[in-house]
Amino acid sequence: MRYSVFPGCSLEKGAAGYPYWQSMEAILKPLGVELVEVDDWNCCGATEYIALNRMAAYSLIARTLALAAKTDGLREMVAPCSACYLNLSKADKYLTDDAALADKVNVALGAGGLHYKPGTVKTRHLLDVIVNDVGYKAVEQQATKSLAGLRIAPYYGCLLTRPAVYGQTDSPEYPTALDKLMKVLGAEVVDYPMKAHCCGGHMTQISEASAFDMIRRLVKGAADYHADIIVTVCPMCQLNLDGFQGAMNRYYKGDYHVPVLYFTQMMGLAFGLDAATLGIGAEIVDARPALSRIGVQVPPPEEEAKPAHKPRRPKEALPMPVMPGSEEVEQ
């Protein structure tokens, strides 16, 4: 099986999504899936751009689609990130349905010597590919280590599941594909009631109160079901639930510690790969206590370099000018 792949900005090295990319590459090899990265791809526009400037947003996406169409003659492109997946599928559908829009977009693409015929490239989410193309059976055959003893809350988020027009999951409201995948690997899957609720997306940057409320719902939902781990399919969701869990705890004076890992990392563990290859250890909420239940050893995080001492100002130095607003600090 060969697909072109659109990594998306959040899977780029260094970002919270990089372990996703690492673990995806590690598990797809044994499953016999080959990915060819689309050359010179660009950002999908994330969740906001389509709301701000439709024409520019569609052109931005169509550029990637046009480049994907030229990638080795592959007609199916994998997008591991749910936001990228939705944007690419949505734009492709709108361009297919609206010939006038497609013409305009092609004028914009023409400036860069590109052209895109809508419908040429079908965008697929990684979960969809693994579940429907590779199949549960092939996954089960690769699994050498059972995840038994681990309670998993499968979390799909909202961008992958809705709208359901692309047939990506079995149900827009209560999908079960990831549940089945984790069960196949031996894990105990809880009936996570918040599985298709929103993680808040970029709300953390706009309104902390709203964002923390949404994150708390999800984390509390998993904790109420005594889940050891939340397993996610989207780097945005991972970032929100993992990266902002501490901030949310401070905001609500709560004490939740539910680690959030990617489903590819769980698959990798089941395939017997070691934690470091899968990028485990990069998460912020420590997953080691949970993973030790299935005997997975994660190397301790590297000692963070202590901040160098601020050089003491020489006695004879002249005082710094006081900036407006910083007077209290100076006292």
Partner 1 sequence: MVSVGNHPNINLMAYSEVTQVSGYVGNFTVTVRQKASYVDKEKCTGCGVCQDKCPKKVIDQAYEAGLGHRKAIYKPFPQAVPKFPVLDRENCTFFQKGTCKACEKFCESNAIDFKQQDEFVTFPVGNIVLATGFDPFDPRRIAQYGYGRLANVFTSMEFERLSSAGGPTGGKIVLRDGVTAPQSVGIIHCVGSRDKHYNNYCSVICCMQSLKLAHLIKEKTGATVYNFYTDMRTAFKDYDEFYQRVLSEGTLFVRGRVAEVTDAARLPGEEGKLIIQAEDTLIGKQRRVPVDMVVLSTALEPRHDAKEVGQRFGISGSAAGWFIERHPKLDPVATMTEGVFIAGCAQGPKDIPASVAQGAAAAARVVGKINQKEIAVEPIRASIDKDRCSACRICNNQCPFKAISYIPEKNGQRAYSEVNPALCQGCGTCVAACPSGAIAGTVFSSQQIMAQLNGLMLLNVNGASVEEKVPA
Closer of 104 and 217 to partner 1 (Cβ) = 217
Least distance to partner 1 from the beta carbon of 171, Å? 5
**Contact region with partner 1 (CB under 8 A), list: 23-31, 83-91, 167-175, 270-278:** 167-175
**Contact region with partner 1 (CB under 8 A), list: 90-98, 168-176, 273-281, 284-292:** 168-176
Quote the CA–CA distance of 295 and 288 in Å, as a whole number: 10
Place of tokens 């994330």: 46
Least distance to partner 1 from the beta carbon of 89, Å? 20
Least distance to partner 1 from the beta carbon of 191, Å? 6
70 token code pair:
């030229």
Residues in the chain: 331
Least distance to partner 1 from the beta carbon of 175, Å? 9
Closer of 127 and 194 to partner 1 (Cβ) = 194
Tell me the site size for partner 1, rule CB under 8 A: 10
Binding track over 197-236 against partner 1, x by CB under 8 A: --------------------x--xx--x------------
Please write down the HEC assignment for all residues of the chain.
Answer: CEEEECCCHHHCCCCCCHHHHHHHHHHHHHHCCEEEECCCCCCCCCCCHHHHCHHHHHHHHHHHHHHHHCCCCCCEEEECCHHHHHHHHHHHHHHHHCHHHHHHHHHHHHCCCCCCCCCCCEEEEHHHHHHHHHHHHHHHHHCCCCCCCCEEEEECCCCCCCCHHHCCCCCCCCCCHHHHHHHHCCCEECCCCCCCCCCCCCHHHHCHHHHHHHHHHHHHHHHHCCCCEEEECCHHHHHHHHHCHHHHHHHHCCCCCCCEEEHHHHHHHHCCCCCCCCCCCCCCCCCHHHHHCCCCCCCCCCCCCCCCCCCCCCCCCCCCCCCCCCHHHHC
Taking alpha carbons only, the member of 29, 28, 22 closest to residue 278 is 22
Closer of 19 and 221 to partner 1 (Cβ) = 221
Closer of 197 and 202 to partner 1 (Cβ) = 197
Closer of 93 and 220 to partner 1 (Cβ) = 220
Closer of 10 and 161 to partner 1 (Cβ) = 161
Closer of 129 and 182 to partner 1 (Cβ) = 182
Instruction: Decide: is 174 part of the binding site for partner 1 (CB under 8 A).
Output: yes
Instruction: Decide: is 194 part of the binding site for partner 1 (CB under 8 A).
Output: yes
Closer of 39 and 173 to partner 1 (Cβ) = 173
295-298 long-range contacts, CB within 8 A, separation 24+:
296/269
Closer of 182 and 222 to partner 1 (Cβ) = 222
Least distance to partner 1 from the beta carbon of 114, Å? 38
Q: Which of 119, 186, 193, 243 binds partner 1 (CB under 8 A)?
A: 193
Q: How many CA within 13 A on the CB side of residue 256?
A: 34
**Contact region with partner 1 (CB under 8 A), list: 18-26, 48-56, 113-121, 187-195:** 187-195
Least distance to partner 1 from the beta carbon of 221, Å? 4
Least distance to partner 1 from the beta carbon of 251, Å? 15
**Contact region with partner 1 (CB under 8 A), list: 54-62, 110-118, 170-178, 298-306:** 170-178
Residue type, 46: A
Interface with partner 1 (CB under 8 A): 171, 173-174, 191, 193-194, 217, 220-221, 224
